[in-house]
């Protein structure tokens, strides 16, 4: 890797971290609120407002733990781990979880897994199991936690050659994502199962693909929306939508949409006992609804139509989860009650992987390469807003790199990350990017 490539990779990693922190900070102001509430806020949430503030966000701490775990391995261990296809074993990650996590900042599936392993002696390999040794232990196994922490592994294992491939195939795309997927599976397995794991694969893969993208002098074909005649006396004729090839610095909705679809096609070829193809397909149903709506009309003003389609798919999936619980757990009323109570308690479906993934994609596609619009649209959908805005902005940050992210998004994060971890004292985002880059070099070189 030549010096220029090193500098570019570092800038992309830095951009991803900047997006993660800024987006998470922006969305945290309305975490758990509905779209309706956010749109009626006074003052309106149309930019940074006085009540936005720096704070500890649980979303990032698991990525920092994984980075600490990697730093604890010498080069020989990294090489052996790649050969065995196990670098971050459950026992290794579990030890770092136990040594570093502050339980005040641990929730849902992660909380259940930590309690299972530390308090009940469950092997870390089984800490995320919904049921283990006749004990119902993790009802949150498919919630959002893995999805919120996937960026690191895309930074560590970029999908080199993704955008230069003139005749891409899903098979070759999966090969480019292999290391990223391996690390993501290892990390997700510690607290999640099923579609919960698919969420981390999606986020990490999109970051890996974004890091490969060259945002300088991009030539791409976009669609301009139809002109809307809103005054009866307007002399302007109706003008239909049109396609045009443009050149710019950055990335467009069309490129992001194409990559989202390619990542899905690649992941559907994945053959791994930890995640099934039906679970990956199920994970994408809300994303598919957003993509299909965008395909019909590229006009960014109509993003709410795409979100409505995703909500419809989400509600259908929620009903399927209830039916699934009644079928799988019918022989044990206590287990069934625990799972159904969780689904009833989260009536807005606000912290589940599936509806929140659509908010990420709304941000990416309808943000159209603009960092602020990306994190704002992901937030405006509601639900787990800090996770969604953080994921969407981190992915876009990987596409753009830190130098192309405007100061407006950077200013309030102060170039810092705040962490409650026992063994993480570094606050500088630049130094975090440098530490991430150092591990990426080791993983790519071995």
**Listed residue (439, 353, 361) closest to 396, CA to CA:** 361
Tell me the pairing of strands 242-248 and 218-224: antiparallel
What are the backbone angles phi and psi of residue 211, rounded to the nearest 5°? -65, -30
Say if 86 falls within a structural domain: no
Average pLDDT of the residues in 156-180: 97
Confidence band of 327 (pLDDT split at 50, 70, 90): very high
Phi, psi of 248 (to 5 degrees): -160, 170
The answer to whether residue 65 sits within a structural domain is no
Q: Are 95 and 65 in contact (CB under 8 A)?
A: no
Task: List residues bridging with 247 in a β-sheet.
Answer: 219
Helix (H) or strand (E) holding 120: helix 120-120
Examine residue 441 and state whether it is found in any structural domain, yes or no.
no
Contact 186, 238 (CB under 8 A): no
Residue 108: inside a domain:
no
188 in any annotated domain: yes
289 falls within a domain: yes
Question: Radius of gyration of the chain from Cα atoms?
Answer: 21
Query: Percent of the chain, pLDDT > 90?
Result: 90
Could you read off the pLDDT of 70-79 as tens digits, one per residue? 999 999 999 9
| Domain-embedded: residue 83 | no
What is d(CA 130, CA 151) in angstroms, rounded to the nearest whole number?
25
**Two tokens, residue 180:** 């990223």
The predicted pLDDT at position 1 comes to 35
Residue 213 lies in a domain: yes
Confidence band (pLDDT; 50, 70, 90) for 2?
A: very low
Rounded Cα gap, residues 406 and 240, in angstroms: 33
Q: Using 50, 70 and 90 to split pLDDT, how confident is the model at 446?
A: low
pLDDT reading at 231 higher than 90:
no
| pTM of the entire predicted model | 0.96
CB 17 within 8 A of CB 428: no
Task: Concatenate the DSSP letters of all residues of 320-342 into one string.
Answer: HHHHHHHHHTTT-HHHHHHHHHH
Determine the structural domain holding residue 15 and report its residue range: 3-59+135-225+244-418
Total domain count for the chain?
Answer: 1
- The confidence score (pLDDT) of residue 159 equals 97
Give the 3-state DSSP-derived string for 220-279, with helices as H, strands as E and coil as C: EEEEECCCCCCCCCCCCCCCCCEEEEEEECCCCHHHHHHHHHHHHHHHCCCCECCECHHH
Other Cβ atoms closer than 10 A to 247: 8
Average pLDDT over residues 165-187: 97
Residue 333: the pLDDT is 96
Model confidence at 239: pLDDT above 90: no
Q: What is the pLDDT of residue 320?
A: 95
Percent of the chain with pLDDT strictly greater than 70: 97
**Residue 168: closest CA among 261, 75, 245, 87:** 261
Determine the average pLDDT of the residues in 302-316. 96
Comparing 139-148, 164-173, 316-325, 347-356, the range with the smallest average pLDDT is: 347-356
pLDDT tens for 113-138 read 999 999 999 999 999 999 999 999 99
């Amino acid at each position: 890797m030549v010096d220029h490539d090193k500098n570019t990779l570092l800038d992309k990693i830095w951009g991803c971290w900047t997006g993660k922190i800024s987006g998470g900070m922006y969305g945290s102001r309305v975490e758990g609120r509905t779209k309706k509430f956010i749109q009626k806020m006074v003052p309106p949430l149309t930019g940074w407002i006085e009540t936005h503030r720096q704070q500890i966000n649980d979303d990032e701490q698991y990525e920092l733990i994984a980075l600490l775990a990697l730093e604890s391995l010498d080069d020989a261990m990294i090489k052996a781990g790649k050969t065995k296809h196990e670098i971050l074993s459950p026992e290794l990650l579990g030890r770092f979880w136990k040594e570093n996590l502050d339980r005040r900042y641990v929730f849902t599936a992660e909380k259940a897994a930590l309690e299972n392993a530390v308090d009940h002696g469950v092997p870390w390999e089984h800490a995320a199991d919904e049921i283990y040794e006749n004990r119902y232990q993790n009802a949150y196994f498919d919630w959002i936690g893995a999805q919120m922490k996937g960026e690191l592994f895309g930074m560590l294992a970029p999908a080199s050659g993704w955008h230069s491939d003139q005749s891409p195939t899903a098979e070759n795309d999966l090969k480019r994502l292999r290391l990223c997927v391996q690390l993501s599976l290892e990390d997700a397995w510690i607290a999640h199962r099923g579609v919960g794991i698919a969420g981390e694969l999606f986020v990490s893969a999109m970051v890996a693909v974004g890091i490969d993208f060259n945002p300088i002098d991009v030539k791409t074909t976009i669609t301009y929306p139809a002109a809307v005649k809103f005054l009866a006396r307007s002399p302007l004729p109706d003008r239909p939508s049109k396609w045009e090839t443009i050149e710019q610095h950055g990335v467009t909705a069309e490129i992001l949409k194409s990559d989202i679809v390619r990542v899905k096609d690649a992941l559907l070829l994945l053959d791994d006992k930890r995640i099934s193809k039906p679970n990956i397909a199920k994970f994408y149903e809300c994303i598919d609804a957003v993509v299909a709506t965008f395909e019909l009309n590229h006009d960014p003003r109509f993003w709410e139509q795409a979100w409505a389609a995703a909500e419809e798919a989400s509600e259908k999936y929620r009903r399927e989860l209830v039916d699934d619980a009644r079928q799988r757990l019918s022989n044990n009323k206590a287990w069934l009650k625990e799972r159904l109570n969780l689904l009833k308690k989260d009536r807005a479906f606000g912290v589940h992987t599936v509806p929140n993934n659509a908010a990420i994609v709304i941000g990416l596609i309808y943000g159209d390469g603009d960092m602020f619009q990306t994190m704002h649209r992901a937030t405006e959908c509601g639900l787990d807003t800090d996770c969604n805005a953080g994921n969407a902005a981190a992915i876009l940050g990987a596409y753009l790199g830190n130098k192309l992210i405007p100061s407006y998004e950077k200013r309030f994060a102060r170039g810092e990350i705040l962490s409650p971890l026992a063994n993480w004292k570094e606050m500088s985002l630049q130094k975090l990017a440098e530490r991430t880059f150092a591990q990426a070099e080791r993983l790519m070189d071995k």
